[in-house]
Chains A and B, each alone.
Chain A
């Protein structure tokens, strides 16, 4: 089961939209596939990204992965708790393991994201 109130990308990121700001993390499926997260290379606050840009380089004990900006905008906040405890991404991926917040320049960027039901179907199609 994935949280109903979030949106999802095909790269297994979740996006929570509040007041024209998107909070971004990775899904349980993604953290499970990556294994123990050991390093999260957080972006600088105020850095601007275009939709689809790599915003974060993530490293697990066995792999590296990229997290992409789901919308075009500017970083408003990053989760500095991950510097000392990157395992939050494994243990609490939908809450304490959030990674960054980005302002949403154009709400139209959200159109391509999946709702929870669509994402669950997408996961099944990947099996």
Chain B
């Protein structure tokens, strides 16, 4: 095993007493004060997450928009400058190589944000698909900080040289933060109003100190990041998504136009044609649907636990966590078609008990502020 890498913020985590773990080859904090407190502070005020481990690819060139539109599910030709979009890099079979956000910074300049574990494979796929005219620069000397929570606007506005009240959900721009050139987006993984700041690593460490000096802000770790995303029903690569799962099964087909031509689209069209209601019956074993699972208990179920309906196995849990906001366990999992409608009663077989769960609409936590309209405030 290789030694895990340290992010630009490692020294601060240690100084703040964080518990560190190896996550995707990086030493990252699981928690500082405690997972529940950090989770609740994100829902009520503002927290920061070190997301320096994530990959940043700057993609430039006159053909970048057209090339990316063929390489990703996102239609980068139609994406306006100053906007970001969530989507996927698919393999030939339509499986998810990675889930990503692409941001258009200029007509011929994009930032692609990718997961840490998948970054090397993403780069390889993109190099093969984009061709020589389009440059891919891995911004390895840059870090990323996520500030999330309803008060994140108040924390950040005084530090950045752009009017945040004019920035909509999934807006992005080049600006300055703490006097340093950066890329800023109104995005996140918690369901709350929030921003992601991309800048050179050493400068990001300085900005992090400034932000943490604000009494509204607490540092938060991977523990609360997971419970926050699961309350929203957001997928995590490696749990809900993999190269053997396509985004239609994952219920994420609404993020793109399946009739458009992009890498993997043919396979997705064949897949959806094959699972018309009649064919579903014959294809039962091969088709699955991602659902959100809501328990009425505090007792946890775990990744890999079987999902039952009337005693028969109909699926498998992909994530489970105690929800600090709802005070019960929530999770996600894949189930057979016919068992995926909201309100469907199921059970999860854990090592020690059979726990009743119900299929839920997402988000399971309904009061997130991520789409808050700031210009009307």
B304 at interface, CB cutoff 8 A:
no
B79 CB, min distance to chain A CBs, angstroms: 38
Q: Mark A5-40, 1 if CB is under 8 A from B, else 0.
A: 000000000000000000000000000000110110
A55 CB, min distance to chain B CBs, angstroms: 13
Q: Mark B21-35, 1 if CB is under 8 A from A, else 0.
A: 000000000110011
A50-101 interface with B by 8 A CB criterion: 57, 59, 61-62, 64, 86-87, 90
Complex CA distance for A87 and B36, rounded to whole angstroms: 10
B175 CB, min distance to chain A CBs, angstroms: 36
Residue contact B299 to A61, C-beta cutoff 8 Å: no
B200 at interface, CB cutoff 8 A:
no
A54 CB, min distance to chain B CBs, angstroms: 9
Of B35, B321, B322, B352, chain A has the most CB atoms within 10 Å of the CB of: B322
Residue contact B298 to A35, C-beta cutoff 8 Å: no
Residue contact B300 to A64, C-beta cutoff 8 Å: yes
Residue contact B322 to A35, C-beta cutoff 8 Å: no
B13-47 interface with A by 8 A CB criterion: 30-31, 34-37
Contact of B322 among A41, A57, A61, A90 (CB under 8 A): A61
Classify the interface of chain B: helix, strand, loop or mixed.
mixed
A91 CB, min distance to chain B CBs, angstroms: 11
Residue of B nearest to A87 (CB): B36
Residue of B nearest to A41 (CB): B299
Q: Mark B313-355, 1 if CB is under 8 A from A, else 0.
A: 0000000011010000000000000000000000000001000
B187 at interface, CB cutoff 8 A:
no
Q: Which of chain B's residues have a CB closer than 8 A to the CB of A59? A: 298-300, 322
From known contacts A39-B322, A57-B352, infer whether A62 and B35 are also in contact, taking CB-CB under 8 Å. Answer: yes
Residue contact A39 to B298, C-beta cutoff 8 Å: yes
Contact of A35 among B35, B300, B321 (CB under 8 A): B35
Residue of A nearest to B35 (CB): A61
Residue of B nearest to A64 (CB): B300
Q: Which of chain B's residues have a CB closer than 8 A to the CB of A36? A: 34-37
From known contacts A38-B322, A39-B322, infer whether A61 and B36 are also in contact, taking CB-CB under 8 Å. Answer: yes
Q: Which of chain B's residues have a CB closer than 8 A to the CB of A38? A: 36, 298, 300, 322
Residue contact A86 to B298, C-beta cutoff 8 Å: yes
Of A35, A38, A64, chain B has the most CB atoms within 10 Å of the CB of: A38
Q: Which of chain A's residues have a CB closer than 8 A to the CB of B73? A: none
B178 at interface, CB cutoff 8 A:
no
Complex CA distance for A41 and B324, rounded to whole angstroms: 18
B270 CB, min distance to chain A CBs, angstroms: 41
Residue of A nearest to B322 (CB): A38
B328 CB, min distance to chain A CBs, angstroms: 10
B100 at interface, CB cutoff 8 A:
no
B51 at interface, CB cutoff 8 A:
no
Complex CA distance for A36 and B224, rounded to whole angstroms: 11
Residue contact A35 to B352, C-beta cutoff 8 Å: no
From known contacts A57-B352, A61-B36, A61-B322, infer whether A35 and B299 are also in contact, taking CB-CB under 8 Å. Answer: no
Contact of A39 among B30, B35, B299, B324 (CB under 8 A): B299
B148 at interface, CB cutoff 8 A:
no
B135 CB, min distance to chain A CBs, angstroms: 41
B227 at interface, CB cutoff 8 A:
yes
Q: Which of chain A's residues have a CB closer than 8 A to the CB of B36? A: 36, 38, 61, 87
Complex CA distance for A119 and B91, rounded to whole angstroms: 56
Complex CA distance for A64 and B322, rounded to whole angstroms: 12
B197-218 interface with A by 8 A CB criterion: none
Complex CA distance for A39 and B298, rounded to whole angstroms: 6
Q: Which of chain A's residues have a CB closer than 8 A to the CB of B35? A: 35-36, 61-62
Residue of B nearest to A40 (CB): B298
Q: Which of chain A's residues have a CB closer than 8 A to the CB of B34? A: 35-36, 61, 90
Q: Which of chain B's residues have a CB closer than 8 A to the CB of A39? A: 297-300, 322
Contact of B223 among A41, A62, A86, A90 (CB under 8 A): A62
* A-B contacts, 26 listed (Cβ < 8 Å): A35-B35, A36-B35, A36-B36, A38-B36, A38-B298, A38-B300, A38-B322, A39-B298, A39-B299, A39-B322, A41-B352, A59-B298, A59-B299, A59-B300, A59-B322, A61-B31, A61-B34, A61-B36, A61-B227, A61-B321, A61-B322, A61-B324, A62-B30, A62-B31, A86-B298, A90-B34
The 7 closest A-B pairs by CB, nearest first: A61-B35, A39-B298, A38-B322, A36-B36, A36-B34, A62-B223, A59-B300
**Footprint of B on A, CB under 8 Å?**
35-36, 38-39, 41, 57, 59, 61-62, 64, 86-87, 90
Taking A62-B31, A62-B35 as known contacts, 14 extra A-B pairs with beta carbons closer than 8 A to each other, sorted by chain A number, are A35-B31, A38-B322, A39-B298, A39-B300, A39-B322, A57-B352, A59-B322, A61-B31, A61-B34, A61-B35, A61-B36, A61-B227, A61-B322, A86-B298
